[in-house]
Amino acid sequence: MSESKIVTMTEKDMKKVTSRQRIVKIIVQIGLYLFLGIMALIVVFPFYWMIISSLKSTVEYRLPVPTLFPNEIIWKNYADAFTKADLGQLFMNTVYVGIVSTILSLVITVITAFAFARLEFKGKNLLFTLLLATMMIPGELFTITNYVTVTKFGWIDTYTVLIVPFLVSVFYIYLLRQNFLQIPNELYLAAKVDGTKDLKYLWKVMIPLSLPNLISITILKMMGAWNSYIWPRLVTTKAHHLITNGLRGASYLDEAGQTNFPVQMAAVTVVSIPLFMVFIFLRKYIMKGVSRSGIKG
């Protein structure tokens, strides 16, 4: 057999192998996207059901065979939700607690993380290890002791009881400390040679360089305040309830004395929208801040 025929057959075999590889790759891609699409539908469907249920009438909601889209869109459910659940007051309470607690928590977190990252003092590593060890303890174990403490202080049914007990977060301190450790120590030593004070160096150098991480902490802290349920319900009355636990105590009864589930779904939808917006528009800051926390130290 001539060399030209051998070369020709080899080329044909290579083309067949390449063609098969392409087909297999396409099939794998189709299967992957099909699987992801099915998983996305499973995740999204409950939210879709929540939204369409909030737009139905009570009669349509109670039909034996559920409808996948409202026969008649009832926008009045959202107005009733604001009235029955007092969403305006709940929003104000949550925003106030979220903003104040976030600002104070950021101040404590930044100063503490800076101390553990740059300052040298006796027992620093041991103290930091003990702080990390507290992360292994479930937060529910502190509920009773915290409740007894705030009761003795007379903080029950005040904004203080919603803010002060959760100002310190070991996780946020650890996250920011790891980010501070990525900043070259030579900058700090040079600043000290120039006579720069620690707080000025922190404000002028470390905070700007760690801004993505600080944005992540801010977002997570605000979301924590927004989603808070057990503690506010335990230590406050309706006047100081936050948005999530306030919905639980609202009355959604209609004229017949039955629960108006579409209005209830409308209230849940209104509460969920801000979190969706945060995730859609700010998710890159959360991921960027967490990824920059590093592994140094």
Q: Quote the CA–CA distance of 133 and 8 in Å, as a whole number.
A: 69
Residue 67 domain-assigned (yes or no): no
Q: What is the mean pLDDT of residues 171-188?
A: 88
Q: Does position 37 have pLDDT exceeding 90, yes or no? A: yes
Residue 286 binned pLDDT confidence (cut-offs 50, 70, 90):
low
Instruction: Give the CB-side neighbour count of residue 59, counting CA atoms within 13 A.
Output: 4
Do 97 and 174 fall into the same domain? yes
pLDDT digits (tens, 9 = 90+) for 237-279: 877 788 877 666 566 666 666 778 888 888 888 888 888 887 7
Do 13 and 132 fall into the same domain? no
pLDDT digits (tens, 9 = 90+) for 77-115: 888 888 877 788 888 888 899 999 999 999 999 999 999
Quote the Cα angle for 48-249-161, to 5°: 110
Do 124 and 227 fall into the same domain? yes
Q: Does position 34 have pLDDT exceeding 90, yes or no? A: yes
Residue 288 binned pLDDT confidence (cut-offs 50, 70, 90):
low
Residue 25 domain-assigned (yes or no): yes
Residue 202 domain-assigned (yes or no): yes
Do 85 and 44 fall into the same domain? no
Q: Does position 131 have pLDDT exceeding 50, yes or no? A: yes
Residue 86 domain-assigned (yes or no): yes
Do 105 and 241 fall into the same domain? yes
Note the pLDDT of residue 297: 42
Residue 70 domain-assigned (yes or no): no
**Structural domain count of the chain:** 2
Do 174 and 274 fall into the same domain? yes
Residue 59 domain-assigned (yes or no): no
* CATH number assigned to the domain comprising residue 261: 1.10.3720.10
pLDDT digits (tens, 9 = 90+) for 199-229: 888 888 888 888 888 888 888 888 888 888 8
Note the pLDDT of residue 295: 46
Do 26 and 85 fall into the same domain? no
Note the pLDDT of residue 296: 46
Note the pLDDT of residue 105: 93
| 268-274 long-range contacts, CB within 8 A, separation 24+ | 268/50, 268/54, 269/50, 269/51, 269/54, 269/78, 270/78, 270/81, 270/82, 270/87, 271/87, 271/243, 271/244, 271/247, 272/47, 272/50, 274/226
Q: Does position 195 have pLDDT exceeding 90, yes or no? A: no
**3-state SS record for the chain:** CCHHHHHHHHHHHHHHHHHHHHHHHHHHHHHHHHHHHHHHHHHHHHHHHHHHHHCCCHHHHCCCCCCCCCCCCCCHHHHHHHHHHCHHHHHHHHHHHHHHHHHHHHHHHHHHHHHHHHCCCCCHHHHHHHHHHHHHCCHHHHHHHHHHHHHHHCCCCCCHHHHHHHCCCHHHHHHHHHHHHCCCHHHHHHHHHCCCCHHHHHHHHHHHHCHHHHHHHHHHHHHHHHHCCHHHHHHCCHHHCCHHHHHHCCCCECCCCCECHHHHHHHHHHHHHHHHHHHHHHHHHHHHHHHCCCCCC
pLDDT digits (tens, 9 = 90+) for 112-124: 999 998 888 888 8
Residue 152 binned pLDDT confidence (cut-offs 50, 70, 90):
very high
Do 8 and 94 fall into the same domain? no
Residue 38 binned pLDDT confidence (cut-offs 50, 70, 90):
very high
Do 100 and 168 fall into the same domain? yes
What's the chain's average pLDDT?
83
Taking CA atoms, 60 is separated from 50, 56, 64, 82, 260, in Å, by: 14, 6, 9, 22, 11
State the DSSP code for 214: H
Note the pLDDT of residue 110: 93
Residue 165 domain-assigned (yes or no): yes
Range of the domain at 20: 3-54
